[in-house]
């Protein structure tokens, strides 16, 4: 029970001081508590209600607010926060010895939480009844858990652990950073830091949303090359923003394992399909399977590619053709099938993953540079032809990216030179995925026919290594 005496007590502990701060802000933003029509201020209670990540993801916050308002309670403070692990660790300190504790912290930090302070007579006990049994399977119909079966927490009550928890999260309500760093004000050093990533084809152990978590809610994305590397991380980031995905690869075991990881980490649907982008009938079958499963395709990410280092003089005809077939012809094949099958009548978004090789001469890369330059030209042509059908087409050109097969195959001799680029580091897969997310989302609704270079400025400064060319003098690529 939180009365006005909490604000005036001279012996406030640090945690109560945090609560006093929350109470003061709530009064500033919601008006005087004396204006509440439910009775005198000393009869009122306050309690904290937190809608956890899955409830926020499912857009159920409004339903929760409506139910509390219909009971006559007053919302005196609300904030969407990405709860820091330090706050969560303190908040759940009594559960630290439980076997489910790591999973609980991981879940609670997986997305934003909407914290609300509600005020009214007997709100503590009433809110407990409104929310229902902590086990949603046992929650009665008509309660919030019973109707929606999603995680929601209510904290309140004098002199109990619940009271300590309301104090902790009330402090977080005022001071914790929201999911969007822009809302925190100017923090140049934080904005310059790359997002976390992992080198293998595994999902991120934790993720902080920089965009709205439902940016791609209920969209369906078809991603070639989605079983590994950049394509895998694009699928994960899309799914963390509400999107269902179809990931395509020639290796069905690889793409099936990737789909299981992605679905487990994000809770979204992920359909694995075996497909070679050089084989139009296989593409048609995969697209038909997708449309049967999801009923639509909103986004196409052309990420399948092949590359290696080889001097032009040693490159066999078939090796050159193979790269052109995968990168250029494959991009056209999938785009063409999707246009005929769905995009022509419903619109859509295409993002082609290319490279900066075609913008400058690069030793040992005539095959990949030619293929990617052709895709960039294709992007512009398709943007012009298909724009009237409400189809946006853009290219994204990554630079040297850590944790990818490309950097393992191609980056060894050049990795030290990346440090001479403007940002003086390698990029990571999450950074590329965020940029693709932007192009695929409504944020880029007026962007088409563009090439977005995401390489830390490396293409501006990275020199050719003529000595490396000499080292490959006796090399031959015969595919």
- The number of beta carbons lying within 10 Å of the beta carbon of residue 11 is 5
In this predicted structure, the answer to whether residue 91 has a pLDDT above a threshold of 50 is yes
Label each residue of 100-129 as H, E or C.
Answer: CHHHHHHHHCCCCEEEEEEEECCHHHHHHH
Length of the chain (residues)? 479
The 10s digit of each residue's pLDDT in 304-353 is 998 888 999 999 999 999 999 999 999 999 999 999 999 999 999 999 99
For the segment 170-191, the average pLDDT, to the nearest whole number, is 42
Q: Say which CATH architecture domain 42-152+164-172 belongs to.
A: 2-Layer Sandwich (3.30)
Do residues 301 and 440 touch, judged by C-beta distance below 8 A?
yes
Element (H, E) at 271: strand 270-274
Do residues 146 and 140 touch, judged by C-beta distance below 8 A?
yes
Do residues 124 and 47 touch, judged by C-beta distance below 8 A?
yes
The CATH class for the domain spanning 220-474 reads alpha beta
Domain positions in the chain are 42-152+164-172, 220-474
Q: What pLDDT sits at residue 479?
A: 56
For the segment 27-56, the average pLDDT, to the nearest whole number, is 59
The 10s digit of each residue's pLDDT in 124-152 is 878 888 888 777 677 788 888 777 765 44
In this predicted structure, the answer to whether residue 264 has a pLDDT above a threshold of 60 is yes
Q: Report the SS3 class of residue 191.
A: helix
Q: Which of 73, 57, 84, 44 is nearest to 169 (CA)?
A: 84
Q: What is the pTM of this model?
A: 0.64
Lowest mean pLDDT among 90-99, 242-251, 394-403: 90-99
Sorted by sequence, the CB contacts under 8 Å of residue 261 that are 6+ apart come out as: 201, 202, 203
Lowest mean pLDDT among 51-55, 232-236, 318-322, 368-372: 51-55
- The alpha carbons of the chain give a radius of gyration, in whole angstroms, of 27
Q: Please name every residue paired with 315 in a beta bridge, in sequence order, or none if there are none.
A: 477
- The number of beta carbons lying within 10 Å of the beta carbon of residue 444 is 17
Do residues 204 and 236 touch, judged by C-beta distance below 8 A?
yes
What is the four-CA torsion angle of 131, 132, 135, 139, rounded to 10 degrees?
A: -130
The 10s digit of each residue's pLDDT in 380-435 is 999 999 999 999 999 999 988 988 877 776 555 455 566 667 888 889 999 999 99
Distance CA 339, CA 334 (A): 8
Do residues 429 and 230 touch, judged by C-beta distance below 8 A?
yes
Q: What pLDDT sits at residue 416?
A: 54
Do residues 228 and 272 touch, judged by C-beta distance below 8 A?
no
Q: What pLDDT sits at residue 18?
A: 41
């Amino acid at each position: 029970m939180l009365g006005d005496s909490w604000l005036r007590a001279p012996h406030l502990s640090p945690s109560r001081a945090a609560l006093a701060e929350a109470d003061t802000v709530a009064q500033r933003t919601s008006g005087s508590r004396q204006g509440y029509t439910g009775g005198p201020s000393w009869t009122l209670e306050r309690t904290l209600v937190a809608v956890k990540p899955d409830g926020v993801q499912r857009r159920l916050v409004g339903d929760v607010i409506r139910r509390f308002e219909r009971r006559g309670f007053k919302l005196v403070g609300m904030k969407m926060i990405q709860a820091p692990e330090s706050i969560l660790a303190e908040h759940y300190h009594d559960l630290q010895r439980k076997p489910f504790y790591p999973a609980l912290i991981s879940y609670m930090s997986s997305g934003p939480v909407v914290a609300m302070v509600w005020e009214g007579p007997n709100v503590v006990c009433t809110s407990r009844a409104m929310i229902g049994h902590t086990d949603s399977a046992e929650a009665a119909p008509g309660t919030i858990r019973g109707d929606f079966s999603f995680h929601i927490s209510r904290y309140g009550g004098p002199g109990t652990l619940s009271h300590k928890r309301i104090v902790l999260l009330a402090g977080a309500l005022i001071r914790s950073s929201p999911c969007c760093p822009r809302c925190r004000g100017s923090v140049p050093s934080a904005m310059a830091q790359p997002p976390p990533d992992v080198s293998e084809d595994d999902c991120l152990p934790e993720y902080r949303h920089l965009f709205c978590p439902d940016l791609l809610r209920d969209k369906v994305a078809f991603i070639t090359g989605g079983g590994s590397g950049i394509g895998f991380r694009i699928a994960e980031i899309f799914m963390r923003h509400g999107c269902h995905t179809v990931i395509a690869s020639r290796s069905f075991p690889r793409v099936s394992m990737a789909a299981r990881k992605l679905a487990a980490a994000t809770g979204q649907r992920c359909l694995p399909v075996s497909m070679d982008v050089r084989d139009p009938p296989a593409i048609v079958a995969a697209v038909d399977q997708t449309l049967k499963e999801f009923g639509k395709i909103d986004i196409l990410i052309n990420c399948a590619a092949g590359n290696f280092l080889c001097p032009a003089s040693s490159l066999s005809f078939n090796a050159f053709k193979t790269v052109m077939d995968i990168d250029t012809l494959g991009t056209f094949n999938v785009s063409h099938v999707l246009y005929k099958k769905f995009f022509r009548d419903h619109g859509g978004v295409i993002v082609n993953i290319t490279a900066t090789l075609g913008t400058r001469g690069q030793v040992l890369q005539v095959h990949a540079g030619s293929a990617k330059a052709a895709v960039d030209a294709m992007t512009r042509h398709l943007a012009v032809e298909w724009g009237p059908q409400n189809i946006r087409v853009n290219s994204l050109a990554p630079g040297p990216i850590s944790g990818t097969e490309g950097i393992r195959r191609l980056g060894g001799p050049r990795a030290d030179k990346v440090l001479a680029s403007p940002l003086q580091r390698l990029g990571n897969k999450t950074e590329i995925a965020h940029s693709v997310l932007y192009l695929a989302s409504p944020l880029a609704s007026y962007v088409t026919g563009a090439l977005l270079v995401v390489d830390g400025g490396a293409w501006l400064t990275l020199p050719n290594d003529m000595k490396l060319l000499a080292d490959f003098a006796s090399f031959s690529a015969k595919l």
